[in-house]
Amino acid sequence: MLVLGADGYLGWPTALHLSDQGYTVGLLDNFARRGYDEELGSGSLVPIEELKVRRDVWQELSGQAMELYTGDLLDADFVTETVRHFAPDAIVHFAEQRSAPYSMIDLAHASYTQHNNVIGNLNVMFAIASVNPDIHLVKLGTMGEYGTPNIDIEEGWLEVEHNGRRDRMLFPKKPGSFYHLSKVHDSHNIEFGCRIWGLRATDLNQGVVYGQQTPQTERDPRLATRFDYDAVFGTVLNRFVIQAVLGEPLTVYGTGGQTRGLLDIRDTVACIQLAIDHPAERGEFRVFNQMTESYSVSQIADIVSRTYPGEVRVEHLDNPRVEAPEHYYNVKHTGLVELGLQPHLLSDTLIESMFGIVEQHQDRVQRNRLLPSVKWRETRNSVG
Ligand code: NAD
Ligand code: USQ
- Look up the ipTM and state it: 0.99
Q: How far apart are CA 7 and CA 344, in angstroms?
A: 24
Strand 136-142 and strand 157-162: the pairing is unpaired
Q: How far apart are CA 221 and CA 345, in angstroms?
A: 25
The answer to the question of residue 257 being in a domain is yes
Residue type, 194: C
Band of residue 224 on the pLDDT scale cut at 50, 70, 90: very high
CATH number at residue 78: 3.40.50.720
- Give the binding-site residues of ligand 1, using a 6 Å CB cut-off: 5, 7-11, 29-33, 72-74, 94-98, 116, 120, 140, 142, 206, 208-209, 226, 235
> Is residue 22 within a helix (H) or strand (E), and if so which, with residue range?
none
The answer to the question of residue 357 being in a domain is yes
Amino acid 102: pLDDT: 98
Residue 101 buriedness (CB in 10 A; 0-12 / 13-18 / 19+) = buried
The answer to the question of residue 339 being in a domain is yes
pLDDT, tens only, 172-218: 999 999 999 999 999 999 999 999 999 999 999 999 999 999 999 99
Q: How many CB atoms lie within 10 A of CB 64?
A: 17
Q: How far apart are CA 284 and CA 235, in angstroms?
A: 32
Per the confidence metrics, is the pTM higher than 0.90? yes
Please say whether the beta carbons of 184 and 146 come within 8 A.
no
pLDDT, tens only, 73-127: 999 999 999 999 999 999 999 999 999 999 999 999 999 999 999 999 999 999 9
The mean pLDDT value for 275-302 works out to: 98
Band of residue 350 on the pLDDT scale cut at 50, 70, 90: confident
If you average pLDDT over every residue of the chain, what do you get? 97
Of 142, 148, 235, 292, the active-site residue reads 142
pLDDT > 80? residue 353: yes
The answer to the question of residue 273 being in a domain is yes
Ligand 2 pocket: which of 145, 248, 265, 297 to mutate (most atoms <8 Å of CB)? Answer: 297
Phi and psi dihedrals of 369, rounded to 5? Answer: -95, 5
Band of residue 162 on the pLDDT scale cut at 50, 70, 90: very high
Q: Where are the strands (E) in 84-242, listed by range? A: 90-93, 136-142, 157-162, 165-170, 200-206, 208-210
The mean pLDDT value for 290-295 works out to: 97
Amino acid 195: pLDDT: 98
How far CA 140 is from CA of 6, 64, 253, 271, 320, in Å, comes to 13, 25, 26, 11, 26
What angle (nearest 5°) sits at the alpha carbon of residue 198, between those of residues 86 and 112? Answer: 65
DSSP state of 248: P
Amino acid 45: pLDDT: 98
292 is annotated as an active-site residue: no
Q: Among the residues of 169-235, which ranges form H helices?
A: 178-197
The answer to the question of residue 205 being in a domain is yes
The answer to the question of residue 382 being in a domain is no
Ligand 2 atom with the shortest distance to the CA of 143:
38
Q: How many CB atoms lie within 10 A of CB 265?
A: 22
Lowest mean pLDDT among 1-5, 8-12, 137-141, 342-346: 342-346
The mean pLDDT value for 270-290 works out to: 98
The answer to the question of residue 375 being in a domain is no
Task: Give the dihedral sign, CA 22/97/340/336.
Answer: negative
142 is annotated as an active-site residue: yes
* Paired residues of 202 in beta bridges: 138, 286
What angle (nearest 5°) sits at the alpha carbon of residue 29, between those of residues 27 and 32? Answer: 160
pLDDT > 80? residue 349: no
pLDDT > 90? residue 33: yes
Please say whether the beta carbons of 198 and 283 come within 8 A.
yes
3-state secondary structure of 317: strand
Please say whether the beta carbons of 66 and 19 come within 8 A.
yes
Q: How far apart are CA 266 and CA 162, in angstroms?
A: 41
328 is annotated as an active-site residue: no
Return the residue whose CA atom lies nearest to atom 39 of ligand 2.
144
Task: Decide whether any atom of ligand 2 lies within 6 Å of the 122 Cβ.
Answer: no
The mean pLDDT value for 339-360 works out to: 92
Amino acid 347: pLDDT: 77
Of 9, 14, 183, 268, the active-site residue reads 183
Please say whether the beta carbons of 341 and 267 come within 8 A.
yes
State the total domains in the chain.
1
Structural domain boundaries enclosing 199: 2-369
The answer to the question of residue 263 being in a domain is yes
Residue type, 208: V
The mean pLDDT value for 18-26 works out to: 98
Amino acid 384: pLDDT: 73
Amino acid 254: pLDDT: 98
Using a pLDDT cut of 90, give the percent of the chain over it. Answer: 98
